[in-house]
Structure 1
Amino acid sequence: MLRQRRSPRRLSLSEVLTLEQIGWLCWATDGSTGEIAPEKFGRTAPSAGALYPRDLYVATIAGAVPQGLYHYNPYRHELEYVNATTPSDLAQTSPQPDELSAASTVLLFSTSFWRNRMKYDQRGVRFAFMELGHVAQNALLAGNALGLSALSLGGFFDDEVNALVGLDGLHETSAYMVFLRQTEPREATRRN
C-alpha cells in the first residue's frame, strides 16, 4: 500500500464518492475506536492525553451526500452540515485553484489549540500539529485503500479558509487539506 501512494500533479473531474466511501474515509482518518478509559475514547490517530485538539471537515459535490461542507463527529460517526462550501470553493483559497477545483471531495483539518493548551501550555501547539500529521497520513492511506488519488495541501490562504469554515484563526484555525478524486484507470495501472 505504501509503495502505491502517489500525489497527483493535477486533479481532473471525477465521480462523487459514495456515502459508504465518505463514511469509511472519515472513520479511517480520525474515527472513534472505542472507550479506552471511563468517559475517554480512542481514535484512529494518536493524541497527547487523548485531548484531540483537531477537527475533520468534509467538503463534497452533490451525490449521496448533498453538496456542502460537513463537520465529522467521530463519536457518533456522523456528518454535521456546516454550510454550502464546495471543494471548488476551497480550491480557490490556494495558489493553484485550476489544478484543484475538479476534486470531488476535500478533507479539511483544523486545530483547536485551547483543547490541549490547558494541560500542555505552549507545547500543546506542537502536539496539535504533530497530531495533524498522523491524521493526514491516515487520510492519504485510507484514500489509497479506496483507490482514490489524494493531493495534500498546506499552502493556502488561511484567512479565506477560516472564513469559509467559520473558524476564528486564533484559537481554532485551518491547518491542512487533502483533495481527493477517483483514480483514473490508466493511473491505477501505472501505480501497480
Structure 2
Amino acid sequence: MRGQNNYYLVDVKDKHHNAFYDKHLSPESYDFIEVSKITRYNVDDFGKHVHEITSNSYIVRHICNNSAELSSFESIPLPDLSDDNSACELLDSLQEIYHRRQSNRHYSPEGITFDELSKVLQGGCFILDPAKRKDDDKPIMRGMPARRNIGSGGGLYPIELFLISSNTVGLENGVYHYNQEQVTLDRLMPRGGFRDNNVKEIVQEIFFSLSRADMDFVNVSGIIILAGCLNRTAYKYQDRGLRFALIDAGAITQNLYLTCAAMDLGCCACGGYYDDELNEVLGLDGADETVLNVVLVGKKDIR
C-alpha cells in the first residue's frame, strides 16, 4: 500500500514524510507478527494442537470459563434490557441483530449479488461524513482522514480491506482492493505466480480447513481480507499502535458479521490460510503490511 497513505502526512516536513516508511515497531513486535503466522512448515503441528483441544469435551466446556481471579465482595445484578419499556427502537433493532449474529461455514452454490457484496463491504467500514465531524460545525483538518463507522486509535484507520471474489453474481472473479475513499473496488493483478483469471487456484493453494467439514471454500462468494498497514499507527504510537490495529480489525470484523446478519447472509471469520503466501498475492510485505484477519461471505446453505 505504499504511496497511497500520503494524505496522513500533508504539510509535514520532508524528513517526517520519509520517516513514515521507516520501521517504527520494535523487533519484539515483528517477532509476534512472525511467530503468529501459519506456514506450510508449522501447519501440521498447529492442526494437531487445535484438534486436541476441540476433541476434548471437558476442555471445550470449561475453557471459556477460565478467567482472572478477582477479590470482589458484592455482585450487583444489572437490569435486563428487554425489561426496559423506555428502550429506544434503535437499541431494540441492535439487540435483534446481535441475536442473529452467527458463523456460517457452509454456503449455497447460488452466489450473492454484487449489490449484496457492496453492502457488506460498506457495512464493514465506510466514511461517515467527509466534510465534518459529528456534532461539530468545523470542517475536519485539511489532510486528516475523515471519520468512519468504527473508532480508531488516533483516527488513523490502519486497516485496508481486500476481496477475493470467486462466486459473486455481477462481479468477475478476481482480486480487488476496497477503496474506502472513492467507494470503489479496484481490481488488482495477483502476485505470487497466480493468474488473474484463476481465483480458484489461489483459494485452493492458500486457504485450508483443518477438516473437510470445516469451511466451504468451493461455494463461498467472497473472501474479505483485513490487512494492517501498521506504520499508520506505529509512526505515532510505536509498539502500542499494533494493539490499536488489532482492535480496528476486530471492530470491522464485528461490523461485517452484523451486516451479514441484518441481510440474512452467511459469513465466518477464518484463520486457515498461509499468511506470507496471501500477503504476496496482495502485494503486502508481510511485516509493516500484513493480513490480520479473513472473513468468508456467501449465501447460507439451507439444505
Range of TM-score over shorter length: 0.7 to 0.9
Equivalent residue for 1:100, pick from 202, 212, 216 = 216
- Structure 2 unaligned segments of length 5 or more: list them: 1-96, 134-139, 190-195
Equivalent residue for 1:25, pick from 110, 120, 127 = 120
Query: Equivalent residue for 2:169?
Result: 63
SS of equivalent residue, structure 1 residue 59: strand
Q: Percent identity?
A: 25
Matches within 5 A, 1:1-192: 1-8=97-104, 10-35=105-130, 36=133, 37-39=140-142, 40-61=145-166, 63-83=169-189, 84=196, 86=199, 89-90=202-203, 92-96=205-209, 98=212, 99-102=215-218, 103-185=220-302
* 1:21 positional shift: 1.2
Once the two structures are superposed, what CA deviation does each residue of 1:44-69 show, in whole Å capped at 9, x if it has no partner? 22211111111001111253111111
Contact 1:28/1:142 (8 A) holds in 2: yes
Cα distance change of structure 1 residues 115 and 90 upon mapping to structure 2, 3 Å threshold: farther
- Structure 1 unaligned segments of length 5 or more: list them: 187-192
SS of equivalent residue, structure 1 residue 90: helix
Equivalences, count: 185
TM superposition score normalised by structure 1: 0.87
Query: Equivalent residue for 1:189?
Result: none
Amino acid at match of 1:93: I
Cα distance change of structure 1 residues 104 and 87 upon mapping to structure 2, 3 Å threshold: farther
- Once the two structures are overlaid, the 10-residue window that deviates more, 170-179 or 77-86, is 77-86
TM superposition score normalised by structure 2: 0.57
Cα distance change of structure 1 residues 5 and 159 upon mapping to structure 2, 3 Å threshold: same
Once the two structures are superposed, what CA deviation does each residue of 1:64-96 show, in whole Å capped at 9, x if it has no partner? 111111101111110000133736623642331
Structure with the bigger percentage of strand: 1
**Residues in 2 aligned to 1:43 and 1:78: alpha-carbon distance in whole angstroms:** 16
CA RMSD of aligned residues (A): 2.0
**Residues in 1 aligned to 2:200 and 2:246: alpha-carbon distance in whole angstroms:** 23
